Amino acid sequence: MSNAAGSSAGAPKTALITGITGQDGSYLAELLLDEGYYVHGIVRRSSTFNTDRIDHIYIDPHNEDARLFLHYGDLTDGQNLTNLVLNIEPDEIYNLGAQSHVRVSFDAPVYTVQTTAVGALNVLEAARQLNKKKPVRVYQASSSEMYGDVLETPQTEKTPFQPQSPYACAKVYAFHQTVNYRHAYDLFACNGILFNHESPRRGETFVTRKITRAATRIKLGLQDKLYLGNLDAKRDWGYAKDYVRGMWLMLQHDTPDDYVLATGETYTIRQFLDYTFEHLELDWKDYVETDPRYFRPTEVDLLLGDYSKAKNVLGWEPETSCKELAKLMVDHDMELARSEMAGANLA
């Protein structure tokens, strides 16, 4: 199924995104469509639809204006991935798919490694096969969690990794395989070492979205308490929409390399609680309680990224502060809470 929009001179590019239904995948799909790409996404087969984040940009493929196409697949199925890549013949592949929840990775370490580590290897191998026929560029979603028990602050592209979770270990494996394929097979492959990036599309089990979702429900009387784990953990939080632009810029550069994307500022979970509840004119200390079940077996206490290389080489900088991000998320989740309240009143 070679796309008519191949990469010949002047023709639109074609991109393939794993994890397209996730936070980053949906923002990236929007960006690529705005840039004139044909976009293909891989979704896992399920008895229920999980495409909420991309429904607003999806057009029936029978429509001649359609430029977004979805395919069933799974990162653990290497043969299927290779078949898809060879059929679609993308110019760019963005591997954003993974079991990406750090706390869950302690409960499901084998599955985490199969999707996050071996899944990345499957993508790289599929790209290597395509690269024999035509050039392809690969973006691998790496993570600041790889730094783990950090050896220096701030963290740069040269900071050694000390992963502290099954998820982080899997990401380290994927990082090194990406570098290996770049050197061994001359594949244009980049690692984006992204620090925590959030948005209104963040999953509700991730701490920032858990906070903004609960705070708005508390404001409207739909919820009484919010239970969290370690409130002193420090994170470098940015806006996912800013970060996908950095992913794209990496694959537009002349040479493949690895880049940190971050804000260069760090905040505790307590501070994020401050920003969230202040925007709602509430004091979080009246509603938040600590639950030991949310503590990780091994904790990462401080993450702070230095994005100088991305700024100097790619011209990338974050545009949204942590406080602005919290407001964005609260305003979005307040609308959800109001809809929930209206539904409850009608019941």
What is the rounded distance in angstroms from the CA atom of residue 130 to the CA atom of residue 109?
31
254-to-83, 188, 190 alpha-carbon distances in Å: 28, 10, 12
Which of 26, 100, 142, 143 does the annotation list as catalytic? 143
What is the rounded distance in angstroms from the CA atom of residue 321 to the CA atom of residue 239?
8
Q: What is the 3-state secondary structure (H, E, C) of 86-109?
A: HHHCCCEEEECCCCCCHHHHHHCH
Which of 30, 89, 92, 145 does the annotation list as catalytic? 145
Helix crossing, 207-219 with 322-346: angle to 10°? 50
Q: CB-based contacts of 314: which residues, under 8 Å, 6+ apart? A: 246, 249, 250, 253, 259
**Cβ–Cβ under 8 Å, residues 279 and 217:** no
Which of 27, 139, 167, 275 does the annotation list as catalytic? 167
Which among 266, 236, 256 is positioned nearest to 314, based on CA atoms? 256
Which among 185, 230, 246, 177 is positioned nearest to 31, based on CA atoms? 246
In the numeric block, the tokens 């070492």 are attached to: 193
The verdict on whether 145 is a catalytic residue reads yes
What is the rounded distance in angstroms from the CA atom of residue 118 to the CA atom of residue 113?
6
Q: What is the dihedral of CA 97, 200, 314, 307, to 10 degrees?
A: -90
The verdict on whether 167 is a catalytic residue reads yes
The verdict on whether 142 is a catalytic residue reads no
List residues with catalytic annotation: 143, 145, 167
